[in-house]
């Protein structure tokens, strides 16, 4: 039973921020989402059965909160993520901003699949999509990335 809020924030803050960025494509919106997620987390004072349960809950809430950002008409007209994150390796920056340039639904599956190493079944459960839909979104996202990225970056 995990009840230590500070522990969870320390451990999963970056995960939530990165997923929120992948979902919203905007640092300011991502900051709002992160605060909302942890606000809900602290407010509810839930007891999670396991580490996986906690992680899945945070990912699910991050996805839902990111959706809420775009429900408001005011936020529908957003600017794409400008190059405000610095990367030591230029290739990393190229990969990151290329992913960020994809439509939101493709960014999300790419992030969950390649960064969180989640199986397609889990992604489909989290996003409430059919497994076949997730597969096709992944396929389309990879095709887009192949077009945009250098040929020497292999996408598997």
Nearer to other proteins, 9 or 56 (CB): 9
61 belongs to the binding site for other proteins (CB under 8 A): no
9 belongs to the binding site for other proteins (CB under 8 A): yes
Q: What's the rounded Cα separation, in Å, for the pair 108 and 41?
A: 22
Q: How far is the CB of 1 from other proteins (least distance, A)?
A: 18
- 111-119 LR contacts (CB < 8 Å, sep 24+): 111/18, 111/19, 111/22, 111/23, 112/19, 112/59, 113/138, 115/18, 115/22, 116/15, 116/19, 116/59
Give the phi and the psi of residue 84 in degrees, each rounded to 5. Answer: -110, 0
11 belongs to the binding site for other proteins (CB under 8 A): no
The span of 6-14, 52-60, 118-126, 127-135 binding other proteins (CB under 8 A) equals 6-14
* C-beta of residue 33 within 8 angstroms of C-beta of residue 69: yes
* Binding footprint of other proteins, residue count (CB under 8 A): 38
69 belongs to the binding site for other proteins (CB under 8 A): no
Nearer to other proteins, 87 or 119 (CB): 87
Three-class SS of residue 149?
Answer: coil
The span of 50-58, 61-69, 94-102, 119-127 binding other proteins (CB under 8 A) equals 94-102
154 belongs to the binding site for other proteins (CB under 8 A): yes
Going 96 to 99 to 103 to 104, the CA torsion angle's sign is negative
Nearer to other proteins, 38 or 57 (CB): 38
141 belongs to the binding site for other proteins (CB under 8 A): no
Which residue in the set 92, 121, 136, 143 belongs to the binding site for other proteins (CB under 8 A)? Answer: 92
42 belongs to the binding site for other proteins (CB under 8 A): yes
């Amino acid at each position: 039973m995990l009840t230590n809020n500070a522990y969870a924030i320390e451990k999963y803050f970056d995960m939530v921020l990165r997923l929120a960025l992948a979902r919203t494509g905007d640092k300011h919106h991502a900051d709002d989402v992160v605060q909302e997620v942890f606000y809900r987390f602290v407010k509810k004072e839930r007891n999670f059965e396991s580490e996986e349960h906690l992680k899945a809950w945070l990912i699910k809430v991050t996805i839902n909160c990111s959706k809420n950002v775009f429900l408001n008409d005011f936020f529908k007209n957003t600017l794409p993520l400008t190059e405000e994150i610095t990367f030591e390796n230029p290739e990393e920056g190229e990969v990151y901003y290329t992913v960020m340039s994809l439509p939101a639904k493709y960014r999300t599956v790419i992030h969950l699949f390649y960064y969180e190493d989640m199986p397609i079944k889990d992604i489909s459960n989290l996003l409430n999509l059919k497994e076949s839909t997730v597969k096709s979104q992944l396929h389309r996202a990879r095709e887009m990335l192949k077009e945009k990225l250098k040929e020497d970056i292999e996408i598997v």
